[in-house]
Amino acid sequence: MNTPPAFSFLVCLRLLLAVLPLPGQNLLKHDHQLSSPLTSNFRLKEGLWLLENNIDPYTGGSFHHSPLLLSVFSTIVPPLPIIWAISDAVGAWALLRIWRARQGLLSQKGTRSNVENLITSVYLLNPYLLLPSLALSTSTFENTLILLALMFASQGKVSSALLAIAFAVHLTPSSILLLLPIFMVLVSSPVSHLASPRPFHGNLKRIPFLFGEFTLYWLVLVGAACIITGGSWSWVRASWGATLTLPDLTPNPGLWWYFFTEMFDHFRPFFLMVFSVHLVIYILPICIKFQHDPLYAAFLLIGVLGTFKAYLTLADPGLFLSMISIFPEVHGYLRHPIITTLLHLHAALLLPLQHVLWVSEGRGNANFYYAASLVMGMAGGAGLVDACWAGMRIAVGDAKGWAEEKVDGEKGEGKGKVVWWEVVQQ
């Protein structure tokens, strides 16, 4: 495997962090910013203990992990920190492979070492991804599966990509947002066409067959989960249903928990529907607008999840921020990257501070922490809007440059205005 020098060094460093006893690791496991009720390591260990004592983990209402994770960690490997370190390494490797597929470097020849060192560093040293991994949050596995699905799709490996996204959807149903752009990558190309938009040129007739194969894999996973739980379907409500019904209002960096804490029970079903549909409405507009570059559409939808997900952790916006490194063509067209960076820095400082003031010190209240959550939402929204703008502006920028050159060659000012207006309308 041809990897850049930084990859080997950072993977060894990450494995070392997994092996060495770290001071304060238990504090990380209890941090609500790094793990949610759906991804918490303590909830996972509780489920494993209940399973070992022949008690259904899903009867108490506090366990929300997939039965597949229960099976893996109870029969194949124990939930050791080294597993999370390996998952981080696989995720970084998948991100590199996506970059190579986008640049047409799948032949392993002519790799750009400096750029790949940067991509590896941005992923493995991203605190939004590293800290949840050190806290042993299962969101690390979800991010790795999403990257593997995008990697296999970029390489044209249909079955592998659909199996990976089926696993991701099984672990977290909100990953279904990425299904359509993955289909589009499979039937077209991951190569960048942001600077030269064109109508979608893939074979749309293949998409129903891809959806059928995905459904088959997903049903197999559902069947395996039912077999693990002894034929019981209680895990569906406890695991998937938690994303839709929000039974646990534990504070997190997301926008849902406080809103539904203050919500009257009479209005709760309606607003749960509104919040859930709000995620879905982004799929078609983004995929249609960026039909010429479905990989970029998938990146934007990951940004939507990193902003509006029900049980948000720092790992969700962390994946979006790390993936921007594989789209260098848009970096010059970002309008306010400094403001977005400062918002993230502000939120990263406020969230733990307000959490300590409220939960540990008792000197604040929920409004303090939710104010920091709103700053995190603003940071995610600013990054998402900026990425959308840059993805569209890159094409207009090329047209504008061509128009200005043509205008300079024209003698009459009025004629120049006509030329510019024609280009704008195109």
Token couple for 351 = 């969230």
**How far apart are alpha carbons 247 and 233 in whole angstroms?**
18
**How far apart are alpha carbons 130 and 209 in whole angstroms?**
38
The per-residue pLDDT for range 16-52, each reduced to its tens digit, is: 999 888 787 788 888 889 999 999 999 999 999 998 8
**How far apart are alpha carbons 308 and 257 in whole angstroms?**
11
Residue 242 Cα distances to 172, 250, 254, 327, 377, angstroms:
10, 12, 15, 34, 21
Q: Is the pLDDT of residue 207 over 50?
A: yes
Q: Say what percent of the chain tops pLDDT 70.
A: 91
The sign one gets for the Cα dihedral 110, 111, 113, 114 is positive
Task: Report phi then psi at 377, rounded to 5.
Answer: -65, -40
Q: Could you count the other beta carbons within 10 Å of the beta carbon of residue 205? A: 8
pLDDT-based confidence at 106, cuts 50/70/90? low
pLDDT for res 424: 36
pLDDT for res 402: 42
pLDDT-based confidence at 312, cuts 50/70/90? very high
Considering only residues 198 and 338, tell me which one the structure prediction assigns the higher pLDDT.
338
pLDDT for res 416: 41
What is the chain's mean pLDDT, rounded?
A: 87
The pTM for the full model equals 0.90
Q: Measuring CA to CA, which residue among 7, 249, 240 is closest to residue 118?
A: 7
CB 243 within 8 A of CB 173: yes
In this prediction, residues 290-309 reach a mean pLDDT of: 94
Which uninterrupted H or E stretch holds 318? helix 315-323
The per-residue pLDDT for range 129-177, each reduced to its tens digit, is: 999 999 999 999 999 999 999 999 999 999 999 999 999 999 999 999 9
Q: Is the pLDDT of residue 412 over 50?
A: no
Torsion, Cα 114 120 126 128, to 10 degrees, reads: 140
Q: Secondary structure of the chain: what % helix, strand, coil (to 5)?
A: 70, 0, 30
In this prediction, residues 334-362 reach a mean pLDDT of: 89
pLDDT for res 109: 52
pLDDT-based confidence at 1, cuts 50/70/90? low
**How far apart are alpha carbons 135 and 233 in whole angstroms?**
30
Q: Measuring CA to CA, which residue among 73, 43, 72, 36 is closest to residue 60?
A: 43
Q: Is the pLDDT of residue 220 over 50?
A: yes
Output the DSSP codes for 87-146: HHHHHHHHHHHHHHHHHT-TTS-S--HHHHHHHHHHHHT-HHHHHHHHTT-THHHHHHHH
CB 7 within 8 A of CB 96: yes
Residue 175 neighbours by CB under 8 Å, 6+ apart: 142, 145, 146, 165, 168, 169, 305
The per-residue pLDDT for range 353-404, each reduced to its tens digit, is: 988 888 777 777 788 889 999 999 999 999 999 999 999 999 886 544 444 4
Q: Measuring CA to CA, which residue among 62, 20, 60, 72 is closest to residue 42?
A: 62
User: Where would I find the H helices in 155-206?
Assistant: 158-171, 179-187
| Cα 378 off chain centre by | 17
**How far apart are alpha carbons 115 and 96 in whole angstroms?**
10
**How far apart are alpha carbons 419 and 416 in whole angstroms?**
5
Q: Could you count the other beta carbons within 10 Å of the beta carbon of residue 276? A: 17
pLDDT-based confidence at 111, cuts 50/70/90? low
Q: Is the pLDDT of residue 426 over 80?
A: no
